Amino acid sequence: MTFTRGFRGRRARDPRLPPGQYDVGADWPVLTAEATPTLSTATWSFNIEGLVEQPVKWTWDEIRALPGSDYAGDIHCVTTWSKLGVSFHGVSVDTLLAAARPMPSAGYVLATSHTGYTTNLPLADVTGGKAWVVWDFEGQPLGREHGGPARLLVPHLYFWKSAKWVSGLRLLDHDEPGFWERNGYHDRGDPWLEQRYQGD
């Protein structure tokens, strides 16, 4: 049996697309609640604090000297665009947490930004090779509008969890809603479960 394009109708849906998402292609929309900051790498820092044995603060040079790690895959924004087959380079959050050593009571993290943006995650969503602090996109320095010099990357959850201009992780024994979570977004944000808004 032969299928012509018209006969076959709509193109098969890319299995990498979670429900309700579309492929944005080469575009990369910018979604920012605050004004885009200009952060100098000379004063930039990233810290892990809260329920850890050893609070740690890295400078730009120090974090880039850590063993690197890459992500190759997809990202999904709650506003329904997905970007398929992208790559980022940075450091695994596992590497950072190994230095800080979370206490057994630490079950949650609040990611903070140099701009004041926050977003909350269960610790289990940033461990086990699922989260990065990244500074390169497709082999180039991450653009300022996309969170450069460095952002959090938690690609298995909706992209609002990937805090731009990330400044640190605060380990907590309780869940503390961040900026969008206080404004109606889902607490966890799994795109495959379409956890977009509170109640989803």
Ligand X SMILES: Nc1nc2c(c(=O)[nH]1)N[C@H]1C(S)=C(S)[C@@H](COP(=O)(O)O)O[C@H]1N2
Per CB under 6 A, residues contacting ligand X are: 28-34, 77, 113, 115, 117, 146-147, 159-160, 162-165
Helix (H, G, I), strand (E, B) or coil at 14: coil
CB of 18 to ligand X, least distance (A): 14
Closest CB 10 distance from ligand X, rounded Å? 26
- The distance of closest approach from Cβ of residue 52 to ligand X in the complex, given in angstroms and rounded to an integer, is 23
**CB 48, CB 55: distance < 8 Å:** yes
Sole binder of Mo ion in the list 137, 160, 165, 185 (CB under 5 A): 160
How many other C-beta atoms can be found within 10 angstroms of the C-beta atom of residue 137?
A: 20
At 97, which amino acid appears? L
Cβ proximity to ligand X, 106 vs 134, nearer residue: 134
Alpha-carbon distance of 95 to 156, in angstroms, equals: 19
Query: Quick check: 78 binds Mo ion (CB under 5 A)?
Result: yes
30 forms part of the interface with Mo ion (CB under 5 A): no
Among 117, 107, 101, 132, smallest CA distance to 165 is for 117
Tell the smallest beta-carbon distance from residue 41 to ligand X (Å).
17
CB of 118 to ligand X, least distance (A): 9
CA atoms within 13 A on the CB side of 191: 25
Q: Which is nearer to ligand X, 50 or 191 (CB)?
A: 191
The residue written with tokens 């063993």 in the block is 67
Which residue in the set 51, 75, 77, 134 belongs to the binding site for Mo ion (CB under 5 A)?
77
Residue 97 CB, nearest distance to ligand X (Å)?
Answer: 20
Tell me, what amino acid is at 196? R
Distance in angstroms (rounded) separating the CA atoms of residues 27 and 40: 27
Stretch touching Mo ion by CB under 5 A, among 23-31, 52-60, 148-156, 181-189: 23-31
Long-range contacts made by residues 177-180, C-beta under 8 angstroms, separation at least 24? 177/120, 178/110, 178/111, 178/117, 178/118, 178/119, 178/120, 179/33, 179/117, 179/118, 179/119, 180/33, 180/119
| For ligand X, the closer CB: 65 or 141 | 141
Which of the listed partners (ligand X, Mo ion, none) does 165 bind, with a CB threshold of 5 to 8 Å by partner kind?
Answer: ligand X
Query: Cβ closer to ligand X: 130 or 146?
Result: 146
| Binding residues vs Mo ion (CB under 5 A) | 31, 77-78, 160
